[in-house]
Amino acid sequence: MIHLHVVRDGARSKSAALAAIGTAMEFPDYYGQNLDALYDCLTDLSWLPPGEHVLVWEGGNEDVASVLADAEAAMSTGERTFSVRYPD
């Protein structure tokens, strides 16, 4: 099953992107809203149902995009997968 997680406002600054992604992905309360915490949460996802989890994000912050790409590569197989889509 595919689960979409959408960041609608673009969230282009690093802090805005970290907060918006955390909300969209329903990160746990312990999420620290930094790049390491983003990666840790995206490569866990144990609080979400099994299936493919797709983050739809407009992008705009290279640091965040790099972490998303790393997490996508790490979570390409398994009970829960993670991928990013950038809308046109």
Angle between the N-to-C axes of helices 14-24 and 35-42, in degrees from 0 to 180, rounded to the nearest 10: 20
Chain segment 1-55, per-residue pLDDT in tens: 999 999 987 677 899 999 999 999 999 999 999 999 999 999 999 999 999 999 9
Chain segment 40-76, per-residue pLDDT in tens: 999 999 999 999 999 999 888 899 999 999 999 999 9
Domains and CATH numbers, the chain: 2-85 (3.30.370.10)
Structure token pair of residue 59: 């992008």
CA 28 to chain centre: 13
Amino acid letter, residue 4: L
